[in-house]
């Protein structure tokens, strides 16, 4: 008898595995190390062994959902640079291992957005968007409770919204002025360093070693003028991104997640302030909220792929 | 026996009515005047009479699709300012008139995008976006061959993308710097007038009466330097809007329609130039094309709603 679902979130460092009941409740979760040797060919085998160890009778598993760090189009993985996968047929490889055809795969940021929508911060809404502010900036778009992949798997790649028009910094993607260059943890730190160089304003963080986005936001909360300027800068850009989202897919709710979002309601108020200055009036009911599931969003969303496919 | 579909595009001046066979081929089309008296309460009755005159036996009609000039959410018309409709229950009113439950309604710009996608410039693609450059700027987003409405019926309201960061002009929506203020026919004319005031560059259009966007684009094609500057300005903003679309829903194809798009391949090349400068590299296969159906896009799309609903 079918009793379980698995939600599996494959990252460049670790694979998070979530065991769920058929209602989508998380029963157990654990991590394994991502073995990237030999172009990532051992990863799925490691996942299989780890699952088999927990649930010896795989007949009890209804299906498996995966989040992977790269673009996915129509269940096909285009490329996962961090894993060494290219045109990788995860579904057929894993379905042979577990002897189950019910395998689904989507991009990890999209899967996290789905998890937050169905089980987290946007519970109860079917149209949402998520912005993940971490080392980089990612995102996902949900319409009618389904992930939008896009033609090239690039739907929801919100980190590469071109937001800085003049003198934008170089982004990892090769463009200048992407949202990621200003609103990621790295971007926030870089803005502080740049402002410090070009201004006479003193700061409690002056010449601090190991400067981080978190330190800048904490200092701003305590009234550090230079840090506050940095916070106004990046929350403006996030508010701008929200204003764009609100008239393209026009979600009910926009979720702000990732490490930077731990700055909490302080951050949210500033984002809302800028959003409301720029928004198209008919979307004024759009909610902007903080993510709730943290690092579990991926496994929740991955497991939801299986349930959602019915 | 069911033989026909109707696609009905309700505008502020006229209602376009298209009679289609069940395959979606247009058999006949005509216009009636939009009677806006008494808060638009006669419009549907006029449509009914006009249809009944053409097809006396309404038993032969499978269904009716409508495009309306205002936001629609889950088949509910929120507001059509130009018609006098507010929370207007088109479906139940019209279904009583024609004694048929198969009535569908969507926003007119969205319906036009659907028409171009299923029967026009984006035929063969299921993910598209349309930008309509007319007196104003409108748009529509299609994902998996379906219209995206959004939570407040504002999905695809591309005219209100905030694109001019500094000294943007006031938009009809109350914001400053919307795409509509620079890329609509009115916006193009206004940019010319502004540039002429603030520059010493001579122009063949100097002091011309009844200046229009068309005249500016034609002059630019002939090498008029001031007009060329205007064209570079607004095609930059359209290219920017395309770059945004390409990483939010990441369509296969973006359709440029409306009166301004009659400038043809000349315009398309410039839009493509700016899009390619700003785009996220993985979406480089995104196509940008000119609309094909002109004013018929709405009736095609409206009729498609009926077929698509199966």
Phi-psi domain of A108 (left: phi exceeds 0; alpha: psi -120 through 50; beta: other)? alpha
Give the residue from B6, B82, B18 showing the smallest Cα distance to B295.
B18
Instruction: Single out the residue of B249, B248, B64 nearest to residue B142, CA to CA.
Output: B249
Task: Give the Cα separation of B36 and B8 in Å (integer).
Answer: 16
- CB of A251 within 8 Å of any CB in chain B? yes
Question: In this structure, are strands A72-73 and A76-80 parallel, antiparallel, or unpaired?
Answer: antiparallel
Average pLDDT over residues A40-49: 96
For residue A211, report the phi and psi dihedrals to the nearest 5 degrees: -60, 140
Res B207: pLDDT? 78
pLDDT at position A279 over 60: yes
Which pair of tokens denotes residue B89? 């229950």
Q: Are A152 and A79 in contact (CB under 8 A)?
A: no
The domains of chain A, with CATH numbers, are 4-106 (3.30.420.40), 121-292 (3.30.420.40)
Contact B80, B126 (CB under 8 A): no
The span from the CA of B302 to the CA of B102, in Å, is 12
| Three-state secondary-structure class, residue A283 | helix
Q: Tell me the C-alpha to C-alpha distance, in Å, between residue B31 and each of A201, B70, B81, B91.
A: 66, 20, 21, 21
- Bridge partner list, A130: A140, A255
Select the residue from B140, B150, B170, B246 to test the A interface by mutation, using most A Cβ atoms within 10 A. Answer: B150
Confidence band for A82, pLDDT divided at 50, 70 and 90 = confident
Q: Is the Cβ pair B157, A282 closer than 8 Å?
A: yes
The model's confidence at residue A147, banded by pLDDT at 50, 70 and 90, is very high
To the nearest whole Å, the CA of B28 is away from the closest chain A CA by 34
Average pLDDT taken over every residue of chain A: 94
3-state secondary structure of A172: coil
Task: Pick the range with the lowest mean pLDDT from A100-104, A171-175, B17-21.
Answer: A171-175
Distance (Å, whole) CA A72 – CA B274: 27
The predicted model gives A133-159 an average pLDDT of 95
pLDDT band at A309 (very low <50, low <70, confident <90, very high): low
3-state secondary structure of A164: coil
Supply the pLDDT for residue A251: 98
3-state SS class at B35: coil
- In chain B, which residue's Cα lies nearest the Cα of A160? B280
pLDDT tens column, B74-133? 899 998 988 999 999 999 999 999 999 999 999 999 999 999 999 999 999 999 999 999
Query: Which one of B155, B162, B249 has the shortest CB-CB distance to A155?
Result: B249
- Which of A166, A209, A158 lies closest to A184, judged by CA? A158
Question: Residue A276, Cβ neighbours under 10 Å: how many?
Answer: 14
Residues (pLDDT < 70) of chain B are 308-310
- B151:A281 CB<8 A: no
User: Is residue A285 helix, strand or coil?
Assistant: coil
Please give the pLDDT value at position A241.
Answer: 97
List, edge to edge, every strand of the sheet that includes B103-107: B26-33, B14-21, B4-10, B61-68, B103-107
Residue B201: the pLDDT is 87
Q: A54-58 long-range CB contacts below 8 Å, 24 or more apart?
A: A54/A19, A54/A28, A54/A30, A55/A4, A55/A19, A58/A98, A58/A99, A58/A100
Chain A partners of B275 at a C-beta cutoff of 8 Å? none
Return the pLDDT at A239: 97
In angstroms and rounded to an integer, the radius of gyration of the C-alpha atoms of chain A is: 20
Q: Which two tokens stand for residue B199?
A: 């520059």
């Amino acid at each position: 008898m079918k009793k379980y679902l698995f939600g599996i979130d494959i990252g460049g460092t670790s694979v998070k595995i979530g065991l769920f009941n058929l209602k989508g409740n998380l029963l157990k979760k654990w991590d394994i190390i991502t073995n990237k040797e030999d172009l990532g060919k051992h990863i799925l085998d490691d996942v299989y062994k780890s699952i088999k160890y927990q649930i010896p009778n795989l007949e009890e598993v209804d299906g498996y959902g995966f989040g992977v760090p790269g673009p996915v189009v129509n269940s096909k993985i285009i490329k996962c640079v961090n894993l060494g996968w290219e045109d990788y047929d995860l579904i057929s490889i894993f379905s042979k291992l577990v002897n189950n055809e019910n395998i689904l795969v989507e991009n990890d940021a999209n899967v996290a957005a789905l998890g937050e929508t169905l089980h987290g911060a946007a519970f109860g809404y079917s149209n949402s968007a998520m912005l993940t502010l971490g080392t980089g900036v990612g995102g996902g778009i949900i319409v009618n409770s389904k992930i939008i992949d896009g033609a090239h798997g690039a739907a929801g790649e919100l980190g590469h919204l071109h937001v800085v028009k003049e003198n934008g910094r170089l982004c990892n993607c090769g463009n200048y002025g992407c949202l990621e260059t200003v609103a990621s943890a790295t971007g926030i730190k870089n803005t502080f360093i740049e402002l410090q160089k070009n201004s006479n304003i003193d700061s409690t963080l002056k010449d601090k070693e190991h400067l981080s986005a978190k330190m800048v936001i904490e200092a701003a909360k305590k009234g550090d003028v230079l840090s506050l300027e940095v916070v106004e800068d990046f929350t403006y850009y996030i508010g701008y991104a929200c204003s764009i989202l609100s008239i393209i897919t026009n979600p009910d709710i926009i979720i702000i997640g990732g490490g930077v979002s731990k700055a909490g309601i302080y951050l949210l108020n500033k984002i809302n302030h800028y959003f409301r200055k720029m928004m198209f009036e008919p979307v004024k009911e759009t909610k902007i909220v903080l993510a709730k599931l943290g690092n579990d969003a991926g496994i929740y969303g991955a497991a939801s792929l299986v349930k959602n496919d019915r």
